[in-house]
Structure 1
């Protein structure tokens, strides 16, 4: 999914073709590599692809009827640096997701926050780091629950279904770009999620163009994120069954 890796892969194959006297194919591959690099680092295409994902669901503001809906926060990664406070160990996506969950928790007295995220290499699970971060942000311990086993969105959906069933509506918190795939996964398993997106990467400033034509390393990151989500949605659609 990485556009830089794709660029160098195409150049490497182009070089091999050149050595094998396949010069026409070599030129085509090299030209393709540079065209793709231009598209994914200079043009507004990456911003458009990612914004198309992020704008499918908008900020959720609960009404008076939603006080008993649990809030599920999907895992987003963290560091295991023990010198840092738990809240500072969270990745940017995880911290943004947790902040959104705490905001909704404060608007819904009596609600529960379900924190998800597995353990990498036997270290502390992401769910535990988020739960302890939530406590430091004022969430009551009795209002937190954890799912420490799921490693993917699909596994999170299956585990949540097994634990909570399909009858109750719940608020699903994840990154805005990931929300379409997450909603599809939970709905495919018969559940009733309400989208509460967080971690918007494409943010429009009033006095600047949303789609500039200029080289930017952010464009490469946007491309990788968008490709990951689009391919992931196809994979869930074709290969995942209830």
Structure 2
């Protein structure tokens, strides 16, 4: 009974309710044989249903996330530095920590746990910047400002400052490697972003050991995967992340960055 009640309440959520109304409207038009007038709403319904009511977005995301597997412990030995790409936090004036955890916060959690465990002696963090009162606040600086509250950390901390994109991060890391004489880098980023990141770093002359994290696909999580389900707004986040990487990879290839 509770499960049925939860499903009924779920149907009253704005997104799900909008999908139901569109379905009813489309069925009514088809019933009246308004074939020509039903083409646009049918196209909208098909797109909406495919993305929100099936596991196709999750399946697409799983294809990206499966390209690089987690490295064995032996592969990470003797690394010179851990490089964590941005996208995990946003500087905040209100949060007690001075930063708001974003969608890719697993990147920061993974890189920090590796650095604290002594996997490598240096932690390098990239990321973008946010304009405030005429100046840009670095995502990486916000993280390291917070880490200053923990004085016993036994690893060096390097901020890449405000980076424009993944290529900018790769070029700045390449400069660090040449200056410091580093040979082995552990690259931490979201599993879906890892294929583009590895290709970008390779193009910049850097060979990395990929450490993927932040697995978004339901195929990489606990529990059974329901291929058909009620409209779920989270599917749009998955599709958006997949589309971002798909478009990004083509643009990087076109610009010669991959």
Question: Which TM-score tier does this pair reach, normalised by the shorter chain?
Answer: 0.7 to 0.9
Separation in structure 1 between the aligned mates of residue 57 and residue 75 of structure 2, nearest angstrom: 39
SS in 2 for 1:212: coil
Report what 1:116 is aligned to. Answer: 126
Call closer, same or farther: CA 1:149–1:139 in 2, change over 3 Å. farther
Larger Rg: 2
Report 1:1-12 matches (<5 A).
Answer: none
Per-residue CA distance 1:5-40 (angstroms, 9 max, x = gap) = xxxxxxxxxxxxxxxxxx988654432222111111
1:75 matches 2:113: no
Which structure features the higher share of strand residues?
2
TM-score by length of 1: 0.78
Report what 1:106 is aligned to. Answer: 116
SS in 2 for 1:124: strand
Report what 1:213 is aligned to. Answer: 228
Paired residues of 2:81 and 2:122 also in contact (CA < 8 A): yes
Which structure features the higher share of helix residues?
1
User: Any unmatched runs of 5+ in structure 1?
Assistant: 5-22
Report 1:113-152 matches (<5 A).
Answer: 113-121=123-131, 122-136=135-149, 140=153, 143-152=156-165
Report what 1:12 is aligned to. Answer: none
TM-score by length of 2: 0.73
Separation in structure 2 between the aligned mates of residue 48 and residue 184 of structure 1, nearest angstrom: 22
Report 1:55-204 matches (<5 A).
Answer: 55-63=66-74, 66-86=77-97, 89-93=100-104, 95-108=105-118, 111-121=121-131, 122-136=135-149, 140=153, 143-165=156-178, 168-203=183-218, 204=220
